[in-house]
C-alpha cells in the first residue's frame, strides 16, 4: 500500500498561487475580447465581409470556452484552499484518540506505585510552586526530577530543592533564593544513569549591610553520571552611612552651683565651694553643664582672705555627635587683703560621631555534586559572592564652652585694698572624634568541586572566592571650642594678677577608615577517579578589599587672652594655647582569599 505525505502549509501556498493564475487569465481574456469579437470588414465587398465574420466567430467561440475554463479554475482553487484547512483538523481528530489511549495506558502502569509510594513508575516530576517550592521526584523507572521553585521575588525565602530522578534520569535544578536567602539544592541523578541537578543561586542582599545568600549544592550522580554544578553565592549590600541623631539637652545632667559665703566678721577667711561637674550624656544627649562656683565676700576693716569657688567642668557629649557641656563660671571674691577669684570650669568634649555600618558579606558558593560512583565527573563549585562597601562615619560633636572666670572686687562689693588674683578662663572643649568607617564585607568562599567517579572521572574545579568590600571612610572630626578669656583683677594699692586665658579645645580627630573586607577563599578541587581522571583545580581566591580613607580633622579652638592686672603693680595673665588637630588613620586593607 502506498502512502502520500501532505504538508498543509504547502497546500495552502499552492491554492494561493492558483488563485493568482486565474486572475491573470481573466485579465488577458477581457483584453482580447474587445479587439477580436467585433472585427470590421477590410472593404465593402462580400469577400471582406465573409473574412471578418469568420474571425469574429472564432473569437466568440474562444470566449465561451474561456468562461467555462474560468469556472473550472475557480472550483479547483476553492477545493485546494478547503483541503489545506481540513488537514490540521483531521490530524488533530485522529491524534486525540491515540494520545488519550497512550495517556490512559501510562496512568494504568503508574497507578500501583503512585498509590503505594507516591511516585509514578514513568514520568518527570512536577516543578516546584510558590506553595510547594521543592520539585517532585521523577518516575521510579524513568524520569527527570522536577526543578525547584525560584523565589527570586520573595525576599528571605530560600529557593526550592530540585527533585531526585529514579533509576534513569537527571536531577532537577535547585531554585534561586530570594534576596539574601540560600539557593536550593540540586536533585540527585538516576540510581543507574543520570546527572545531578545544578544548585540554585543565592540571592543578593537588599537590606543595607545585609549578607548575600549561599548558593545551593549541586546534586550527586548515581552509578554513572556527572555531578551537578554548585550555585553562585549572592552579593552583599553596602553598609549604611553613620547618621548622628538630633541631639537633645537634659537639664538633669547639669551640675549644681557651689555655695556662696557673704559674711561680716571682725577678722578671718572665707571661700565659696566649687561647682559640681556635669554628668556625661548618653547616646544623642548633650553633656551636662558644670555648676557655677560659689562667691566669697567679706565686709571687714581687718585683714582677711576670700576665695571664690571654681566652676564645675562640663561633661562629655553622648555618642552620636552630641555637644559637650559648658563649664561653670568661677566664683567672685571681694575682701580687704587677699581676694582670689575662682577659675572657670572646662568645657566638655564633644561626643564621637556615629560609626558607619559594615558592608554585607558575600554568600558562599555551593559545592559541586559528586560524580557517579563508578563513572562520571564531579560538578564545578559555585563562585562566592562579593563583599560590599562599608558605610561612612558621621561627624564628631562640638566641644563645650569653657566656663567664665570669676572676678575680684566685682558685683558691687568694695574693691580689694591689697592683693587681687583674677580667675583663669575655662578651657574650651575638644571636638568629638569622627565616626569610624564601616568595615568592608568579606567575600564569600568558593564552593568545593565535586569528587569524580570512584573508577573513572575528573574532579570538579573549585569555585572562585568573592572579592572583599572596600572599607568605609572615617567621619570628620568635631569642632574644638575657643577657650574663655582670663579675668581682670582690681586692687587699690598693691599687687593684681590677671587670670590666664583658657586653652582652645583640640580639633576632633578624623575618624579612622574602615578595614577592607577579606577576599573569599577559593574552593578546593574534587578528587579524580582511581583508574582515570584528574584532580579538580582549586578556585582562585578573591581580591582583598581596600581600607577606607581616614576622616579629616575638625577646626581647633583658639586660645583666649589673659586678664589684666589693675593696680599699683599689675601683672597680666597668660594667653591660652590653641588646640591641636589630627586626621584619622586610613583603614587596613583586607586579606586576600
Inter-residue contact 268 to 302 (CB < 8 Å)? no
Q: What is the DSSP letter of 138?
A: -
- Give the distance from CA 172 to its chain's centroid: 31
Sign, CA dihedral 85-88-91-96, equals negative
Domain parsing of the chain, residue ranges? 8-112, 228-593
Supply 188's cell numbers. 540527585
Chain length of the chain: 593
pLDDT digits (tens, 9 = 90+) for 439-461: 999 999 999 998 888 888 888 89
pLDDT of residue 166: 87
| pLDDT confidence of residue 408 | 44
Handedness of CA 216, 217, 218, 221 (dihedral sign): negative
Q: Extract the runs of DSSP E, i.e. beta strands, from 402-556.
A: 419-421, 489-490, 495-497
Cell numbers at 244, concatenated: 548622628
Distance of CA 106 to the CA centre of its chain: 50
Q: Which residues of the chain have pLDDT under 50?
A: 1-3, 407-415
Q: Map residue 95 onto helix, strand or coil.
A: helix
- Spatial neighbors of 100 by CB under 8 A, at least 6 apart, are none
pLDDT of residue 307: 81
Which region, left, alpha or beta, applies to residue 194 given φ > 0 means left and ψ of -120 to 50 means alpha? Answer: left
Work out the number of other CB atoms within 10 angstroms of the CB of residue 268.
13
Given 1.10.287.850, 3.40.109.10, 1.20.58.1690, 3.90.550.10, which CATH number is that of 8-112?
1.10.287.850
- With H, G, I as helix, E, B as strand and everything else as coil, classify residue 269: strand
Amino acid at each position: 500500500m502506498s502512502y502520500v505525505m501532505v504538508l498543509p502549509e504547502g497546500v495552502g501556498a499552492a491554492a494561493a498561487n492558483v488563485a493568482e493564475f486565474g486572475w491573470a487569465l481573466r485579465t488577458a481574456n477581457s483584453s482580447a475580447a474587445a479587439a477580436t469579437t467585433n472585427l470590421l470588414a477590410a472593404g465593402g465587398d462580400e469577400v471582406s465581409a465573409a473574412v471578418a465574420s469568420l474571425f469574429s466567430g472564432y473569437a466568440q467561440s474562444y470566449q465561451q470556452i474561456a468562461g467555462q475554463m474560468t469556472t473550472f479554475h475557480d472550483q479547483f482553487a476553492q477545493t485546494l484552499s478547503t483541503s489545506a484547512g481540513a488537514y490540521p483538523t483531521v490530524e488533530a481528530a485522529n491524534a486525540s484518540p491515540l494520545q488519550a489511549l497512550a495517556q490512559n495506558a501510562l496512568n494504568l502502569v503508574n497507578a500501583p506505585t503512585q498509590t503505594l509510594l507516591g511516585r509514578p513508575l514513568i514520568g518527570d516530576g512536577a516543578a516546584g510552586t510558590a506553595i510547594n517550592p521543592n520539585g517532585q521526584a521523577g518516575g521510579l523507572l524513568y524520569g527527570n526530577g522536577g526543578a525547584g521553585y525560584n523565589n527570586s521575588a520573595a525576599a528571605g525565602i530560600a529557593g526550592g530543592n530540585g527533585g531526585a530522578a529514579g533509576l534513569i534520569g537527571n536531577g532537577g535544578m535547585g531554585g534561586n533564593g530570594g534576596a539574601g536567602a540560600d539557593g536550593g539544592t540540586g536533585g540527585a541523578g538516576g540510581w543507574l544513569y543520570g546527572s545531578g541537578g545544578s544548585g540554585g543561586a543565592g540571592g543578593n542582599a537588599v537590606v543595607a549591610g545585609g549578607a548575600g545568600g549561599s548558593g545551593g549544592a549541586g546534586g550527586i550522580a548515581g552509578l554513572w553520571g556527572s555531578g551537578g554544578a554548585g550555585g553562585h553565592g549572592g552579593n552583599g549590600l553596602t553598609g549604611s552611612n553613620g547618621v548622628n541623631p538630633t541631639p537633645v539637652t537634659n537639664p538633669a545632667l547639669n551640675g549644681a552651683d557651689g555655695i556662696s559665703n557673704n559674711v561680716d566678721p571682725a577678722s578671718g577667711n572665707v571661700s565659696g565651694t566649687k561647682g559640681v561637674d556635669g554628668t556625661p550624656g548618653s547616646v544623642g544627649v548633650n553633656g551636662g553643664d558644670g555648676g557655677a562656683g560659689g562667691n566669697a565676700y567679706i565686709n571687714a576693716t581687718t585683714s582677711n582672705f576670700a576665695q571664690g569657688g571654681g566652676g564645675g567642668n562640663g561633661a562629655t557629649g553622648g555618642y552620636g555627635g552630641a555637644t559637650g557641656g559648658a563649664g561653670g563660671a568661677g566664683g567672685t571674691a571681694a575682701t580687704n587683703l587677699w581676694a582670689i577669684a575662682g577659675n572657670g570650669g572646662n568645657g566638655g568634649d564633644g561626643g564621637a560621631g556615629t560609626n558607619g555600618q559594615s558592608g554585607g558579606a558575600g554568600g558562599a558558593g555551593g559545592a559541586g555534586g559528586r560524580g557517579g560512583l563508578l563513572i562520571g565527573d564531579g560538578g564545578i563549585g559555585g563562585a562566592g559572592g562579593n563583599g560590599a562597601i562599608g558605610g561612612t562615619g558621621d561627624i564628631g560633636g562640638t566641644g563645650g564652652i569653657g566656663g567664665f572666670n570669676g572676678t575680684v572686687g566685682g558685683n558691687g562689693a568694695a574693691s580689694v585694698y591689697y592683693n587681687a588674683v583674677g580667675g583663669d578662663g575655662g578651657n574650651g572643649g575638644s571636638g568629638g572624634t569622627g565616626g569610624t568607617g564601616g568595615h568592608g564585607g568579606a567575600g564569600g568562599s568558593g564552593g568545593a568541586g565535586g569528587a569524580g567517579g570512584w573508577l573513572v572521572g575528573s574532579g570538579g574545579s573549585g569555585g572562585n572566592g568573592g572579592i572583599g568590600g572596600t572599607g568605609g571612610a572615617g567621619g570628620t572630626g568635631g569642632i574644638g571650642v575657643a577657650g574663655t578669656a582670663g579675668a581682670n583683677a582690681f586692687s587699690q594699692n598693691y599687687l593684681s594678677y590677671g587670670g590666664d586665658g583658657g586653652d582652645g579645645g583640640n580639633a576632633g580627630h578624623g575618624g579612622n577608615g574602615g578595614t577592607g573586607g577579606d577576599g573569599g577563599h577559593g574552593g578546593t578541587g574534587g578528587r579524580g577517579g582511581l583508574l582515570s581522571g584528574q584532580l579538580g583545580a582549586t578556585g582562585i581566591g578573591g581580591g582583598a578589599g581596600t581600607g577606607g580613607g581616614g576622616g579629616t580633622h575638625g577646626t581647633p579652638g583658639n586660645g583666649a587672652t589673659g586678664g589684666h592686672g589693675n593696680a599699683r603693680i599689675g601683672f597680666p595673665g597668660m594667653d591660652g594655647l590653641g588646640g591641636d588637630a589630627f586626621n584619622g588613620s586610613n583603614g587596613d586593607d583586607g586579606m586576600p582569599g
